[in-house]
Amino acid sequence: MDAKELMEAVAEDKSKIVESLCSMIRHVAVGPENGGPGEAKRGKFLVNLARSLGLEDIEVLESSDPSVLNGKRPNIIVRVKGATSKNMWVVTHMDTVPEGDLSAWKYPPYEPKIVKGRIYGRGSEDNGQELMASLFGLATLVKKGVTPECNIGLVFVSDEEHGNVHGIDFLIPKSVFKKGDLVVVPDHGEPDGDAISVVEKGIAWLNVEVIGKQTHGSTPDEGINAFEVASRYMIAAVDSLRKKFPIKNPLFEPPVSTFVPTKCEANGLNINTVPGKQVFAFDFRVLPEYSLDDVLSELQQLAKKFEKSTGVRINISFLQRADAAPRTATDAEIVKRLSKAIEGVRGIKPHPIGVGGGTCAAPFRRAGIDAVVWSTIPGTAHDANEYAKIEDLVADTKVYALLFAGKNVKNG
């Protein structure tokens, strides 16, 4: 079989692929942290679907969680043996964020609606499209009797939307994955599918508490205005960090580390009181060339200067910290294999990028496993009226089919 015939075989199953994604959306998989039932019913649906597609080697690894009705969060592994000993994985997630404001939806979020080539529904893009594309990409090979070049493993995990404790982080210590494996994590993408993410910035969300002395608005000299000092410190910190960490990395957009003040808490209800306490937050996205410890050290040194000159006390703490994981080389094997498959389907040569947000490739990279992030998506994840485009669903299924087949199909 050549590549053209394999892609035609995928296209023949278009209706079933679309129908299966719609059916999956109807099985609500919101995590218990957001008031949902978890992934059990969706997991059972996917196991049955995989079996119906001729995929027989299926394993379910369950993480104990008393906050769901059955006490377990499923992680499903579907395997097909390849012609070599190399392992290739596609890791997608079953869970979704909640629907949010129902009045903002044009259609019921768990009753998928197909309109003008789009499948509307919660989880259609994030992460249903790529889950279903990888599943049918592999099933097409089995159906047509094509042996994958590598051992292929599809992993449908729980708990991606709330920290990975019962999903990826649960699986990695169990030695499901090992160094030398190739991993695709399609939880980020571009509308035309031309970018493969190989690295991420470090993330630091920092809480800053400035303690001064409250007093009456008519006698400001008798107090220490925490709001004023916090404002001056905020600006000084941003200016200092931008000068201290100026490197540009063209893989990223923007190509620099970003230091942004964001949340600011209320400091009182009335106008005629000088506030004695002000709390605000920073969102930092730091290039992997720099250490988050060095960034924090710069903040703390500046805080000490402000404490000495103003009499305030400044407390800085992490709300979230994710140090940048080692990057996957732009010429890594998984990058080359995936690029070839994308070019075979879409006729474009994808380019490597870095992303400012965290992805689930990071745990694999920290474990010494080459992982990339790729998909073709419109960018509606977590939105009301989230949708997946049918043309992207089918095209990405073709990409996975070619990726899995590798050298075992001819270029045609």
Bond from prior residue into 127 cis (ω within 30 degrees of 0): yes
How distant is the alpha carbon of residue 377 from its chain centre? 13
Cα-flanking dihedrals φ and ψ of residue 354, to 5°? -115, 155
Task: Say what the pLDDT of residue 5 is.
Answer: 97
| CB-based contacts of 108, cutoff 8 Å, min separation 6 | none
Is the pLDDT assigned to residue 412 strictly greater than 90? no
CB atoms within 10 A of CB 317: 10
Whether 160 sits among the annotated catalytic residues: the reply is yes
- Could you give the CA distance from residue 189 to residue 375 in angstroms, rounded to a whole number? 4
Distances (CA, A) of 308 to 26, 230, 277, 300, 304: 59, 14, 17, 12, 6
Q: CB-hemisphere CA count at 13 Å for 125?
A: 23
- Could you give the CA distance from residue 252 to residue 355 in angstroms, rounded to a whole number? 6
Is the pLDDT assigned to residue 130 strictly greater than 80? yes
- DSSP single-letter state for residue 59: E
169-192 residue pLDDT tens: 999 999 999 999 999 999 899 999
Strand order across the beta sheet in which 72-80 lies: 57-64, 72-80, 151-157, 87-93, 182-184, 370-372
In the chain, the amino acid numbered 111 is E
Is the pLDDT assigned to residue 116 strictly greater than 80? yes
pLDDT band at 262 (very low <50, low <70, confident <90, very high): very high
| DSSP three-state, residue 325 | coil
Residue with tokens 């969060």: 73
Is the pLDDT assigned to residue 15 strictly greater than 70? yes
Catalytic residue among 13, 39, 65, 95: 95
Task: Say what the pLDDT of residue 163 is.
Answer: 87
Token pair, residue 152, equals: 């292929």
Which residues are 202's β-sheet partners? 286
Q: Decide if 247 contacts 287 (C-beta within 8 A).
A: yes
| Mean pLDDT over the full length of the chain | 97
| DSSP three-state, residue 388 | strand
- The stretch 377-390 carries a mean pLDDT of 97
232-247 residue pLDDT tens: 999 999 999 999 999 9
Which residues are 320's β-sheet partners? 205
| DSSP three-state, residue 97 | coil
Distances (CA, A) of 45 to 26, 110, 337, 384: 10, 15, 31, 25
Task: Say what the pLDDT of residue 358 is.
Answer: 85
The domains of the chain, with CATH numbers, are 3-199+325-408 (3.40.630.10), 202-322 (3.30.70.360)
pLDDT band at 137 (very low <50, low <70, confident <90, very high): very high
| Alpha-helix residue ranges (DSSP H) falling in 217-352 | 226-244, 292-310, 333-346
pLDDT band at 102 (very low <50, low <70, confident <90, very high): very high
Token pair, residue 383, equals: 């939105």
What angle separates helix 130-144 from helix 390-405, to the nearest 10 degrees? 50
How distant is the alpha carbon of residue 126 from its chain centre? 9
316-366 residue pLDDT tens: 999 999 999 999 999 999 999 999 999 999 999 999 999 998 899 999 999
Residue length of the chain:
412
For Cα atoms 253, 366, 329, give the angle at the middle one, nearest 5 degrees: 55
Catalytic residue among 130, 149, 160, 370: 160
The radius of gyration computed from the CA coordinates of the chain, to the nearest angstrom, equals 24
Q: Decide if 335 contacts 198 (C-beta within 8 A).
A: yes
Q: 107-114: which pairs have CB atoms within 8 A and are 24 or more residues apart?
A: 107/385, 109/386, 110/25, 110/26, 110/28, 111/26, 112/21, 112/22, 112/25, 112/26, 114/18, 114/22, 114/390
Is the pLDDT assigned to residue 17 strictly greater than 80? yes
Task: Say what the pLDDT of residue 370 is.
Answer: 96
Task: Say what the pLDDT of residue 72 is.
Answer: 97
| CB-based contacts of 332, cutoff 8 Å, min separation 6 | 198, 370, 372
Cα-flanking dihedrals φ and ψ of residue 303, to 5°? -60, -40
286-297 residue pLDDT tens: 999 999 999 999
In the chain, the amino acid numbered 8 is E
Whether 95 sits among the annotated catalytic residues: the reply is yes
- Could you give the CA distance from residue 211 to residue 226 in angstroms, rounded to a whole number? 6
